[in-house]
Structure 1
Amino acid sequence: MTQNIYFDESGFTGNNLLHPDQKYFAYGSVATDDAEAAEFVAGLIEKYGIQGGELKGSKLVKFNKGRKAIDEIFTHFEGRIKVSLAEKKYALACKFFEYIFEPCISEINSTFYGIGFHKYIANIMYCEFMARGAGAEEIFQEFENIMRNRDTENLEAIFSSSSNTGNSPILKSIREFAQHRFEDIRDELMSLKDENTGKWILDLTGSALFTLLANWGKEYDQITAFCDNSKPLQQSHELFNLMVNRSDHITSSAFGEEHPLTFNLSEPLVFSDSRISHGIQLADAVAAAMVYSITATDNEHAMKWKALIPTIAHYGSIFPDLDMLNLKDLSAQRNAVVLLELHERAKNGIDLIDGMPEYIRLVSQKLLTHPMYA
């Protein structure tokens, strides 16, 4: 049986992940059908006197009656809601690893993902930025500008604007690593020159939708996906087209956990106007509620919805994990040593991946008997 699932977002800022007023992004989804959604939405509009004839999550969360209406959505559709959440600054830090480090180590990237090196770098960059470490803000801004414009000029001097006597040793190492490996970074950016591929490269919509669909695919044999009109999705829908009438179930454990990589769509993504799609209105309200839950902690509804996050909002969600930086942990010590090794190799023109798996194993064994910090 084919299941209709409706999707919408809250906090969309496209490629601008440093937007000062929109710090979080949520992509909500609700499994229902047209008839149930229409009847339920009409009932909420009448019961709570909602103006405009439709549910708009950004407006509902501002008023107590609107928040009560959203409460009813969570109750009625319990077990049929999934959300992907992201803190945008940390998401940008993850993109930093993906486009600055990944191109340089792509031949054995599974080795680095296997030890959590990608999370180590992302969390280091995030901490530097949030602590307003000297040069960190400049690196983030320059990186976002490079990615938004796919600028391949002057990459040999990448992040020079961040050079500061107050730079932390780690930030200095990361900047110099990028400068020494600028050709790898340039090749990656050149591959993104295609308008459809690169225009929305930092946007979180596509990855959130894919992750949600992959997880819904574990519950339903086939899905019809209804999405609000979205330029990023409309320009990058080819990946989703590959999932039409796809019945195989492929998973990956590349990131330390088993994740589904495929799902079965009945047809290409269906784009619809939220004004006429009641299911999309429900997804919009759910997404807005999740953003509200982590930005308005002094409200009873916010606290109630925040408690739902571990159950409904962990699908591909992107939030910092500062435990990755705890140097009492051997894995953090190992990643710190690996970063130093990569920096040293880049500085001296030594192959980054030759013998690296063996080096990582050696470091792991050494730290077991001689940890850097007791």
Structure 2
Amino acid sequence: MECFSIDESGYTGFDLLNPDQRLQGATAVALGNDEAARLIREHFPKLQAPELKYRSLARRSSYRQPLLELQHAVLSQHKCVTYICDKRFLLLLMFLDYAAEPFYYERDLDFYKDGQNYALASLLYAVGPTLLGRAAFEGLLSAFQRAVKDKTPEALRALVTAARTLDWRKLPEALGPLALASPECLSAIATPGVSTDAAMVVLQSLITRMEVMAEGPYRVDHDQSKNLLTYHNLLQRYIDHQDEVEFKQTQITGIRFPLKLSSVTQIDSKISPAVQVADVMIGAAIDAANGLEGWRSPLLEPQAVMSLYADDQLIHLMPSIDFTEQKQFRQVGQAAKMIDYFVKHFGAKLS
């Protein structure tokens, strides 16, 4: 059975505002451990470390060209996909999911039509700090993720207060429901299981692409981490779900049940060369994206890394204020129907 090995980077739990970890992502690669070990020996014949780690290798100038060559070999010869998201943008999408959309849903308005939630989140990302005041806007986002985590009356009241503190009437479509203490929105935020933890979003995004790449049933090996363990039962429910249904998310993405995915297993990366290669892939991609955004000095030349990827090998969730392009990209989507289905059958949203 085909196996995809996955590793993640940038995980910060429920806190998506961590200034030192602006991006989160993961790479899935269909690469057997024997082939992965061969590639490691070929490109790093003198390596003495017990396992391949991107950041440790990239700090040494003599390893930078071999790192690029390893990535080229993987991307040109094997099935591979990398997902990267801007965590602040994802938090804004979650904010609209729970602090705005339930208000519109109760009034029979499709908040997700043509991807307008993405457009509104992008607008908030671009102008929120300037239009609403940086400190007040940061306070709102911090209060939101705290309320989602704690789910206490005190945290919910603090969130409403934070919304009322800033000039919410400048963007009432996004901020009005919360400033008016919409009971639908407060109830959604307080729902058990609702979380700002991005791990499941990242993994689900990879699944949509692996489902296309896999010719038949496949399994996933994932580096040991608490975040995957948290979602193991939900993933197993996805795997076990046998209803035949398909949803289109964008012009190029969608999901169909039953999944081809048959199992997800945690594995120690020290004994899995394939997971180690996935570590290099996602480490280099996030390093390059940070460099392109000017958030951190990259260890490898960003354009050299990104030029290795074909269009269908890289998924990114980033804000865009090209609203016309975004509408065209998402107007075929069935977001509202898909969310209703996932909430009904799994008690969770698929982002």
- 1:290 corresponding residue in structure 2: 285
Give 2:64's match in structure 1, choosing from 55, 67, 73: 67
Contact 2:143–2:158, Cα closer than 8 Å, also in 1:
no
Deviation (angstroms), 1:114? 1.8
1:226-268 deviations in Å (ceiling 9; x for gaps):
001121211112232134477887431255665124422233x
- 2:53 corresponding residue in structure 1: 56
Compute the TM-score of the two structures, normalised by the length of structure 1.
0.74
Deviation (angstroms), 1:181? 4.2
- State yes or no: 1:180 paired with 2:203: no
Contact 2:223–2:268, Cα closer than 8 Å, also in 1:
yes
Deviation (angstroms), 1:154? 6.2
Unaligned 5+ segments in structure 2 are: 329-351
Inter-partner Cα distance in structure 2 for 1:63 and 1:130: 38
- 1:215 corresponding residue in structure 2: 209
Inter-partner Cα distance in structure 1 for 2:143 and 2:79: 41
For the pair shown, which has the larger CA radius of gyration, 1 or 2?
1
Inter-partner Cα distance in structure 2 for 1:217 and 1:54: 29
1:33-54 deviations in Å (ceiling 9; x for gaps):
12111222233332xx434221
Compute the TM-score of the two structures, normalised by the length of structure 2.
0.79
Inter-partner Cα distance in structure 1 for 2:128 and 2:309: 25
Residue 27 of structure 2 aligns to a residue whose secondary structure is strand
Deviation (angstroms), 1:108? 7.7
Deviation (angstroms), 1:289? 0.6
- Corresponding letter in the other structure for 1:67: R
- 1:344 corresponding residue in structure 2: none
Deviation (angstroms), 1:148? 2.4
Unaligned 5+ segments in structure 1 are: 333-374
- 1:225 corresponding residue in structure 2: 220
- 2:199 corresponding residue in structure 1: 205
1:213-238 deviations in Å (ceiling 9; x for gaps):
22212222111100011212111122
**Which has the higher mean CA deviation after the structures are superposed, 83-92 or 254-263?**
254-263
- Corresponding letter in the other structure for 2:150: N
**Which has the higher mean CA deviation after the structures are superposed, 279-288 or 123-132?**
123-132
Deviation (angstroms), 1:102? 2.4
Map 1:110-259 → 2, pairs under 5 A: 111-129=110-128, 131=130, 133-134=132-133, 135-153=136-154, 155=156, 158-161=159-162, 163=164, 167=167, 169-171=169-171, 174-192=174-192, 197-198=193-194, 201-220=195-214, 221-244=216-239, 250-253=245-248, 258-259=253-254
Percent identity over paired residues: 20
CA RMSD, Structure 1 to Structure 2 (Å): 3.1
Contact 2:160–2:181, Cα closer than 8 Å, also in 1:
no
Deviation (angstroms), 1:303? 1.1
Residue 111 of structure 1 aligns to a residue whose secondary structure is coil
- 1:366 corresponding residue in structure 2: none
With over 3 angstroms needed to count, the CA separation of the structure-2 counterparts of 1:23 and 1:314, relative to structure 1, is: same
**Which has the higher mean CA deviation after the structures are superposed, 306-315 or 177-186?**
306-315
